[in-house]
């Protein structure tokens, strides 16, 4: 696979490092409107060509696929352009800023017969993949109840920098600067954790959003701090299970931690992933009587990057694909509707 990387900001480094390590993948170009940044990036990863636009790269054309690492608001336009040019696309999350664009992207890629995948990074967690396998095997029986949380603390901790002075974080608090808050930023990850983990879509959702007071008059310079800091969702899954999903940036003691628990009629499973690693534990059989949990050992799994490369090589689309990501985006969009109307919303 001959690959170009579109966008050479912070996340592009991860794409370059991962793809460069895969046998049979050659990174042949880097694209960025900032030519100086593109040149530095290309030099760092021994990429032979740089382009100032996707148009220029498509005019050259000697590549198979695009890793789309542009800012969220450009995913739709650039992915659709790449698809029209006959290129496979590996897109950063979220696929688009709203469902209508996301499903249009999915349908365009499918109609063109092109590989389309979204980099929902926590699919790389081996413990989550094992969690899903155990669910599919019926190890904990029919799932009745689900809990999922994504906990960050950068509004109360300076471990990743000071949001009060750093635009890297400030923009995430302001809708005028393109942020959809915690729900729009990390909601897709924890919803994927739950939906993928229990292998069941969401059918109904009730959502509450809250932006808490953080500065005098709710603003810092030209940043109006109105994007949601926390969300909670009460969910009904297609399997019939009930669930609660929530996320916040106020969780002291948790820099970046995802947790999923599922309880079935034969036992329970819990996966946790954070800055210090991952764990998976299970309570089944005789352990149910005494509420004893046992660790589950897991083997490494292929990353999204590997699975995209394999999909291009085989012509068989990998997971998560654009259509799946579009369905997650629908839930996110309806979360805002549910909060505004103060009512449960049907997703289907």
Tokens found for residue 79: 């992915």
Range 182-201 average pLDDT:
96
pLDDT of residue 68: 98
The phi, psi pair for 38, rounded to 5°, reads -60, -40
141 vs 263: CA distance, rounded Å: 9
pLDDT of residue 317: 97
Fold of the 123-302+318-346 domain = Dihydrodipicolinate Reductase; domain 2 (3.30.360)
pLDDT of residue 71: 87
Secondary structure (3-state) at 287:
helix
pLDDT of residue 308: 98
- In the chain, domain spans: 2-121, 123-302+318-346
Q: Is 234 buried (19+), middle (13-18) or exposed (0-12) by CB count in 10 A?
A: middle
Prediction pTM value: 0.93
196-210: burial string, b at 16+ Cβ within 10 Å, e else: bbbebebebbbbebe
pLDDT of residue 295: 98
DSSP secondary-structure letter at 113?
T
87 vs 79: CA distance, rounded Å: 9
Which CATH class name applies to 2-121?
A: alpha beta
With 90 as the cut, is the pLDDT of residue 10 above it?
no
Distance of CA 26 to the CA centre of its chain: 25
Measured CA angle at 106 (ends 102, 111), to 5 deg:
145
Q: Render pLDDT for 13-47 as a digit per residue (tens, 0 to 9).
A: 999 999 999 999 999 999 999 999 999 999 999 99
**Structure-derived torsion over alpha carbons of residues 71, 77, 78, 82, reported in degrees to the nearest 10:** 160
With 90 as the cut, is the pLDDT of residue 240 above it?
yes
Instruction: Please answer whether residues 235 and 244 qualify as being in contact, where contact means their C-beta atoms are separated by less than 8 angstroms.
Output: yes
């Amino acid at each position: 696979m001959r690959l170009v990387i579109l966008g050479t900001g912070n996340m592009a480094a991860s794409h370059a490092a991962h793809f460069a390590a895969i046998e049979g993948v050659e990174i042949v170009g880097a694209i960025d409107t900032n030519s100086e940044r593109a040149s530095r990036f290309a030099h760092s990863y021994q990429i032979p060509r740089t382009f100032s636009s996707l148009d220029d790269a498509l005019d050259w054309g000697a590549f198979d696929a695009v890793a789309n690492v542009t800012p969220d608001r450009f995913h739709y336009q650039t992915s659709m352009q790449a698809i029209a040019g006959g290129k496979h696309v590996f897109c950063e999350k979220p696929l688009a800023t709203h469902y209508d664009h996301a499903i249009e992207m999915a349908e365009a890629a499918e109609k063109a017969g092109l590989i389309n995948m979204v980099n929902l990074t926590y699919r790389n967690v081996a413990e989550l993949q094992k969690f899903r396998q155990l669910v599919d095997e019926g190890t904990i029986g029919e799932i009745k109840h689900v809990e999922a949380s994504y906990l960050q603390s950068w509004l109360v901790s300076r471990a990743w920098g000071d949001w009060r002075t750093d635009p890297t974080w400030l923009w995430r608090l302001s809708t005028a600067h393109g942020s959809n808050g915690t729900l729009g930023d990390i909601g897709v990850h924890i919803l994927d954790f739950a939906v993928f983990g229990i292998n069941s879509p969401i059918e109904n959702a009730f959502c509450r959003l809250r932006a808490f007071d953080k500065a005098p008059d709710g603003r810092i310079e030209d940043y109006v701090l109105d994007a949601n800091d926390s969300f909670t969702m009460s969910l009904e899954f297609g399997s019939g299970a009930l669930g609660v999903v929530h996320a916040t940036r106020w969780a002291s003691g948790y820099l970046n931690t995802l947790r999923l628990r599922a309880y079935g009629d034969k036992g329970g499973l819990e996966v946790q992933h954070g800055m210090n690693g991952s764990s998976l534990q299970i309570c089944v059989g005789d352990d149910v009587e005494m509420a004893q949990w046992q660790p589950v050992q897991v083997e490494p799994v292929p990353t999204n990057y590997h699975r995209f490369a394999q999909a291009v090589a085989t012509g068989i689309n990998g997971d998560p694909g654009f259509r799946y990501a579009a369905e997650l985006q629908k839930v996110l969009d309806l979360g805002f509707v549910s909060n505004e109307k103060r009512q449960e919303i049907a997703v289907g």
